[in-house]
Amino acid sequence: IVQRLDKDTSGLMVIALTPSTHTHLVEQLKQRLVKRQYEAIVHGVMTAGGTVNAPIARHHIQRKRMAVKESGKQAITHYRVITKFAAHTHVQCQLESGRTHQIRVHMAHIHYPVVGDPVYGGRKRLPKNSSETLKQKIAEFSRQALHACELGLCHPQTGEAMIFSAPLPEDFETLLDALKNERRY
């Protein structure tokens, strides 16, 4: 496996078939030549997109968690707003680096945790003034609302630029549809 996904994150990942291909693809990752784009639904209404440039390291007490720490490795996440809803935002995130749980940690760090994230999002938040349908869809969403939708890399043998994409999964689309009925903007 060249590039992994967090548990309960849907979408694309890279697996090499040979050791030489693995080495080549890992080198592309190190040189930040692999384009990784995600979509997420976060709690809160963002005003605009931006960049989170905050180093990430293991949490000092809970070793399975990551945290923004000055002593950590550089981590950069660019994000832009796709759609604003009454109490949520659908965002696109592009990784410049690739740290464990990076998007989840960075979104929580700027106070917009990913919906359904039990590690960095805290308890499930159900918007007070929303419909019972939306409350039910959020409560039923059984994973973090994070999807690896696009992956771009160079073919290890030909050097050809390749871009792969994966449509949003059904559960993500269902949640977006429920949010659209509550749309504020």
Is the CB of residue 117 less than 8 Å from the CB of residue 125? no
Tokens encoding 40: 């997420």
139 CB-contact burial (10 Å; exposed 0-12 / middle 13-18 / buried 19+)? exposed
110-138 burial code (b ≥16 CB/10 A, e <16):
bebbbbbbebbbeeeeebeebeeebeebb
Which of 6, 8, 117, 177 is catalytic? The answer is 6
**Can 177 be counted among the known catalytic residues?**
no
Tokens encoding 159: 């050097």
Catalytic positions, written as ranges: 6
